Chain A
Amino acid sequence: MIDNIMNANSSGLPIIDVIGLTKSFLVGKNDVEVLKGIDLEILPGEFVLLFGHSGCGKSTLLNTLIGLEKPTSGSISLRGRDMYSLSEDARAKVRQDRYGMVHQQANWIKSLTVVENVAYPLMIAGYKRHDAIKRAEHALELFGLAEYAKYTPTELSGGQQQKVSICRAIVNNPWIIVADEPTGNLDTVSAEDVMKIFKSINEQAKRTILMVSHNPDYERYATKLVYMKDGLIEKVVTRKAVTIDEDQYPSDLLAMARGNLL
């Protein structure tokens, strides 16, 4: 399941290509158009920040990108493959292998421990339990969370929980990490910590990051800023062109030495 990302990344083509995307919901008897025609290119290695007021369609766009919300029209390609030409289970498989997800509120399988939760994406991908736990432990170690491995996730603080969900998001070595307001529930210090982790995942591990946020302070972390308004993209600002140095590109995200992520 760990693809040769170097080859894939060096193609120079967008990792996600959104063309003419619309999405309407039936509310009562009225069709409400939430996305009104989105065109967006995300290149490999970009750190994309998605800004916009509540209700402008950010979350819907995100859900559509990860294959959970079928668009009304338009297409989404992940490395040239149309997401919605795939079956529901095939899209689930894409989420298993290609996406890492971090939500505003950390979600847990409550009967499992911290390390088992981190290992879960590997388990659904068919890893042996022993191997998955080992890799999850390694991921926790990278974030300095090894001592909490046997805890129940809800015993941790909000900031710790969010770090653990980042662990879980990267444990399967994904192409893209999608984060929906990951710092929304955190205090300033914890939030800054979490943002730094994302930054290093982006810079050190060269993973593409797509993040929704309300906080304009985070602009400095991003390489591309996307502003949404009323279901449309208002403007796109590229702050820094991304060039990937292939020699430095680690094929396994977790292969980086301890401490690099903090």
Chain B
Amino acid sequence: MRFSYLLYLAYRNLFSHKMRTILTAGGVAISVGFIVFLISFGLGLQRISTDQITNLEALQVLDVSIAKSKVLSINDETMNKFTKLGNVEEAHPQVSSATKISYNKSSIDGVVYGKNTEYLGLEDIKLTAGRQYSNNSTDEAIINVAAQNQLATGDALGKEITLDVVIRTELLPKDEKVKQFSKTFKIVGVVNDKSAPYVYVPLHIFTDNGVVNYSNAKVKMMSKEDVTQAKLQIENMGLKANSIKETIDQINQFFNIFQVILISFGGIAILVAALGMFNTLTISLIEKTREVGFMKALGTMRHDIYWLFTLESVLIGALGSVIGVVSGVGLGVVLNSAIFGLANSTGNQAVELFYIPAYLIFLVLGVSILVSLLTGVYPARRAAKISPLDAMRYE
């Protein structure tokens, strides 16, 4: 028998039991839709968390800080060692200190960070207004939104603030006492951060006032593969090194487990759908025993009968899978645009909560059609083995 005719027969058989076919395919559709929805939810969440944390460059950067013992400090000598580690692209230090920030008559407590434009570049800071300082030797400052609000500067750009900075002893050469200095800066940029007030100033402000030790440093590697090795080397120097890569790896690991759990739920759903399909096929086989017997009496080959039943199973599975994938993806798209609309109306940043790559869609389709094929094997084999004479005596 021609394959196209087998396909036609299978289609006609399914079509003549519309309700049964729709219900069975509906079971498959629900489970496949459920799986697609769960996967895209998991992947969407994962993507949001990792995207929020970093851009690709951030994966190459190690954050170096002083270990708890404080035995070793980060100074120019240490910075020099960093650059000689191998595969290091650049290394830049930062100093942080407590400060009083004053504008007009108001003053608040905050933190001042001394860091150069290169360091800012590695941080990938987000400015809501203005620019970075033009070079590393100016007296320009960048403040955050929290500081701007608390100082009530209005539009902070171009305004002048005064910092009263206390320099802790660990930043100074050995045996020197706590130092204090005061300096006025022109605000050139505002960072989008509402948490606690802080100010960024060029590093020379601190070094000019006798600072020799740095609070921490960023070391950028040639590639993210070099990070693990460099982290080890820096830790061997007695310092602490962290990379976002580790955090991301941990997040990814969490989401991998999360995905496995979601997929197991989906797997249970598929199993239930497969059982439903198996049931339908078995009932259909019992109903058609006489018909199958007669088809064989007319000279239909066993393998044709076998394929007829398998095809019916695959057709139901394919129908259900396609409907499931379309509705699973569709639901994600609808919810995404709902979130987008909501975010727009409330002025928040929109996120894509549901995300599924095309290859996974095809994988889900493939797997569910394969499952339906396997489900059809047993009833099909039973059908192929039906004895025509017994079957025609049946009823």
Contact = CB atoms under 8 A, between A and B. Distances in A.
Contacts of B8: 129
Given A89-B302, A109-B291, A124 B392 contact: no
B12 interface: yes
Nearest to A63: B389
A139 B171 CA distance: 105
Interface string B295-334: 1111111111000000000000000000000000000000
Contact of B300 (A92, A107, A110, A129): A92
Interface stretch (A11-19, A29-37, A94-102): A94-102
Contact of B1 (A63, A101, A108, A126): A126
Interface residues of B, number: 26
B359 interface: no
A39 B12 CA distance: 44
B294 A107 contact: yes
Residue with the highest number of chain B CB atoms closer than 10 Å, among A69, A111, A112: A111
Contacts of A63: 389
B15 interface: yes
A38 to B, nearest CB: 18
Given A107-B290, A129-B4, A121 B389 contact: no
A236 interface: no
B97 interface: no
A121 B298 contact: yes
B302 A123 contact: no
B238 interface: no
B267 interface: no
Could you say which interface size class chain A belongs to? 20 to 34
A120 interface: yes
A9 B304 CA distance: 32
Contact of A93 (B4, B15, B299): B299
A27 B390 CA distance: 14
B87 to A, nearest CB: 68
A107 B304 contact: no
B12 A111 contact: yes
A128 B389 CA distance: 29
B299 A96 contact: yes
B299 A94 contact: yes
Contacts of B392: 103, 107
A3 interface: no
B16 A92 contact: no
Nearest to B5: A123
Interface in B5-46: 5, 8-9, 12-13, 15-16
Contacts of A101: 297-298
B13 A89 contact: no
A109 B303 CA distance: 18
Given A109-B291, A126-B2, A68 B12 contact: no
23 contacts: A92-B301, A92-B302, A93-B299, A94-B299, A103-B392, A107-B290, A107-B392, A109-B294, A110-B16, A111-B12, A112-B9, A116-B12, A120-B298, A121-B298, A124-B298, A124-B299, A124-B304, A125-B299, A126-B2, A128-B2, A129-B2, A129-B4, A129-B8
Identify the 10 closest CB pairs spanning chains A and B, nearest first: A96-B299, A95-B299, A111-B16, A107-B294, A111-B12, A92-B299, A111-B13, A124-B300, A124-B1, A123-B5
